[in-house]
Amino acid sequence: MTATIFGIIAIAFYLSGAILQYFSLKGRYKSNRNKVLLLGAAALICHIFSFNGTLYSNEAGLNLGFYGIASLIGWIMAVLVTLSGIRKPLQNLFIGVYPIAAMGLAATQFMAFTGETGKAFQQLSPHLTSHILLSIFAYSVLTIAAIQASLLALQDHHLRNHKTNGLIMRLPALQVMEQLLFELIWIGVVLLSIAILTGIFFIDDMFAQHLVHKTILSIIAWCLFTTLLVGRYILGWRGTTAIRWTGGGYVLLMLAFFGSKLVLEVILG
């Protein structure tokens, strides 16, 4: 019951922070950066307390099913963006990241946790555990990059159509937005590279039937993101090209992480 209360409070804080940042971006209020950061910090703390019973329980272990993973990834994304937003102009990402964290948390609050995946997870070695956690961090960072790419696409569209008023005027300069995007992709690719390497060394057969789609899709996604980075620094790729490659890589990575879980745990039950 306590975990549920903390979860509901965290969701309220997440949504309040996202709404406040949206109104700031629309120009209805002056910049509320500190207030949004405070709401985000409060949401993160409450989100941690909500993990007891939803992400973890003494009886069932750690919940790494579809909803548990979604909640954990949402929390990690919110942590990364909130901390980075203290020093970098990333506060507009709150509009996308905080609702995602709220949705992941809401799913764990209302969906049953059987504990089957938790018990299986408790039997894993520290090496496999590190591989899973690295994969989760990589996916979280690249999800933030995908949201940044969406904002960049919106900004690029408006500038191409000479619409430089309203919301677009309150975003950082296009060059700054692109720089932030590629910084996120760099970090995500490094984490994904390490995750894939640890999988090769610590998983007996990465191409086993239950892992083959995850492995292939993750490797293809890594190839797309890496090609984008090479194209950026050798051929000067930017703008629409960067947005499309980021979107393509992220879709593949999302299917690798959630494709089978969605079908087996949610659709087929």
Is the Cβ–Cβ distance between 155 and 168 less than 8 Å?
yes
For 169-198, how does the pLDDT look when each residue is reduced to its tens digit (9 = 90+)? 667 778 888 989 999 999 999 999 999 998
* pLDDT of 256: 85
Residue closest to 7 by CA, chosen among 82, 68, 64, 80: 68
Least confident piece of the model among 3-17, 24-38, 43-57, 200-214 = 200-214
Same domain, residue pair 257 and 150: yes
Same domain, residue pair 164 and 244: yes
Same domain, residue pair 103 and 138: no
Distance in angstroms (rounded) separating the CA atoms of residues 49 and 143: 24
Same domain, residue pair 152 and 88: no
Statement: residue 98 has pLDDT above 90: yes
Same domain, residue pair 115 and 128: no
Same domain, residue pair 160 and 83: no
Statement: residue 167 has pLDDT above 70: no
Statement: residue 220 has pLDDT above 50: yes
Distance in angstroms (rounded) separating the CA atoms of residues 237 and 113: 45
Q: What is the pTM of this model?
A: 0.83
Pick the last residue of a domain from 55, 86, 119.
119
Same domain, residue pair 135 and 245: yes
For 194-214, how does the pLDDT look when each residue is reduced to its tens digit (9 = 90+)? 999 988 887 766 666 566 778
Same domain, residue pair 56 and 176: no
- In degrees, to the nearest 5, what angle opens at C-alpha 130 toward C-alphas 86 and 182? 40
Pick the last residue of a domain from 119, 146, 165.
119
* pLDDT of 88: 80
* pLDDT of 261: 59
**Beta-carbon count within 10 A of 147 CB:** 22
Q: Which secondary-structure segment (H or E) carries 233?
A: helix 212-234
- Reduced to 3 states (helix: H, G, I; strand: E, B; else coil), residue 141 is helix
Same domain, residue pair 266 and 247: yes
Domain count, the chain: 2
Structural domain of 12: 1-119
Same domain, residue pair 131 and 149: yes
Pick the last residue of a domain from 88, 119, 150.
119
Statement: residue 122 has pLDDT above 60: no
